[in-house]
Structure 1
Amino acid sequence: MNEVAPLPSTIAIDGPAASGKSTIGHALAQRLGYLYFDTGVVYRAVTWLALSRGIPLGDEDAIASLARSVPIDLLAPADATDGRLATVLIGGEDVTWAVRQPQVDANVSAVSAYASVREALKAQQRRIGHAGRVVMVGRDIGTVIMPDADLKIYLDASPTERARRRCEEDRGRGLSVNYEEILTAMRKRDAYDSGRSTAPLRPAPDAQIVDSTRLSVSEVLEVILALVAQWQPTMP
């Protein structure tokens, strides 16, 4: 009888904005039957909780305390008819759509910039990740959150291609957008993410770098599925 090759239980996908990591991460999780974990949701959860409790968003200590004390969990959706990619729980309460409110959108960047909040949420993310059978997507998964992930992928694309994708995505939503403005903002975000002192955006030393500039979504997915199939567990 042929033995079934083992699969990596924890898969980290990092990369800059509009590199396709969310689309690819979700598609990969579906193909493998894994939990899809967009780690940005934990920052949204804490932001929503602070807003709902009337905690000033300028009070870093109070928000960090909240991040340490309130359990955040992520579950595969039992019923995805409402379009959810995962079910987000705070203290057992389903807040999947509450954390997507415009007020959260407007404030999550400020909350996620706090070093003490990032440190507090690192433990929450690791707890979810270490349960296994998970595809974790973010900007510092392979370097900070899950440096022990079985398979690390850094998904990249040129700034011009990523700006084109973002334009196409926004126009699909009926928004009026300007390519040059989006490209400028993309480059500014890249510089900030790569240059910040806390968890800068960069590939992990052992990450597999996949350039999606000239590849379709299905082609990128096939490349990553091949990496999954080729993966071998590290011998102790």
Structure 2
Amino acid sequence: MIVAIDGPAASGKGTLGKRIARHYGLAHLDTGLLYRAVAYQLIQAGKPLTDEAEAAIAARKLDVETLDDETLRGAEMGAAASKVAAFPGVRAALVQLQRAFAARPEGAVLDGRDIGTVICPDADAKLFVTASAEERANRRFKELASRGDPITFDEVLADIRARDERDTNRAVSPLRQAEDAALLDTTKMDIDAAFRAAVAIVDAATS
């Protein structure tokens, strides 16, 4: 069983993806970490985030098993990831990696921006998870503050809106809801309520 979860930044799709994967006994891939890892490699090498050729090389060298580095979760990497994700060369390099992950015999849960539309268009269940920009910024602000990040709420909100603009308007694989994806608005939901709603959607799609 393949579950595809898409949505904008800080919508809750990553947290939901992990819980859904545990619930069904499936592997989980936060595909956003792939783009964060590419950006991180460029920064570590002293390369500009505008260098598509170097970004594509970094993407081809990625190993899914090395994506747990806590440094990839910061605000800087989130903004940087949104920039390199717009490069066709980077997206092309990562398509095969993501599809290989989804093709494991038992299936998998993948969350990102183009899972249901590009990576796994034939997924057994598709969710498009969203929330208001203000609520998403509030969630991300609390997450970053808990890590000691000095960023302000206004800065987080501005970053969320800028990332939404880049993600929905990029030329290749823009963020959009697949026609057969169920919409799950988590603005007024806590994680438990969102999880129950998501499981109901998956069960209905796979029954």
TM-score category (smaller protein):
0.7 to 0.9
Q: Which runs of 5+ in 2 are unaligned?
A: none
Aligned to 2:15: 23
Q: Distance in 2 between matches of 1:192 and 1:225?
A: 30
Quickly say closer, same or farther: Cα 1:66–1:143, change in 2 above 3 A.
same
Cα deviation for residue 101 of structure 1 reads 9.3
Cα deviation for residue 64 of structure 1 reads 3.0
Aligned to 2:198: 224
Aligned to 1:36: 28
**1:148 is paired with a residue of what secondary structure?**
coil
Q: Distance in 1 between matches of 2:13 and 2:128?
A: 9
188-197 vs 110-119, which moves further: 110-119
Aligned to 1:77: none
Cα deviation for residue 190 of structure 1 reads 1.2
Aligned to 2:69: 97
Contact 2:3–2:109 (8 Å) recurs in 1: yes
Letter in 1 for 2:98: Q
Instruction: Give the RMSD, CA atoms, in angstroms.
Output: 2.8
Larger Rg: 1
**1:231 is paired with a residue of what secondary structure?**
helix
**2:202 is paired with a residue of what secondary structure?**
helix
Q: Does 1:200 align with 2:174?
A: yes
Q: Distance in 2 between matches of 1:62 and 1:167?
A: 31
Cα deviation for residue 15 of structure 1 reads 0.5
Q: Distance in 2 between matches of 1:20 and 1:44?
A: 17
Letter in 1 for 2:159: A
Deviation readout 1:26-47 (Å, 9 max, x if unpaired): 1111111111101123334555
Aligned to 1:78: none
Letter in 1 for 2:163: R
Q: Structure 2 matches for 1:156-235, cutoff 5 A?
A: 156-232=130-206
Cα deviation for residue 189 of structure 1 reads 1.7
Q: Distance in 1 between matches of 2:73 and 2:112?
A: 20
Aligned to 1:124: 97
Q: Distance in 2 between matches of 1:220 and 1:33?
A: 19
Deviation readout 1:127-159 (Å, 9 max, x if unpaired): 111224211010111111111111110001011
Q: Does 1:135 align with 2:114?
A: no
Contact 1:60–1:114 (8 Å) recurs in 2: yes
Contact 1:48–1:98 (8 Å) recurs in 2: no
Letter in 2 for 1:147: P
Which structure's residues are more often helix, by fraction?
Answer: 2
Q: Distance in 1 between matches of 2:167 and 2:39?
A: 20
Deviation readout 1:172-213 (Å, 9 max, x if unpaired): 223344333322322222122111111111100100000101
Deviation readout 1:42-82 (Å, 9 max, x if unpaired): 33455566678x695565345435645x4x554xxxxxxxx
Q: Distance in 2 between matches of 1:215 and 1:117?
A: 34
**1:42 is paired with a residue of what secondary structure?**
helix
54-63 vs 10-19, which moves further: 54-63
Q: Distance in 2 between matches of 1:142 and 1:213?
A: 21
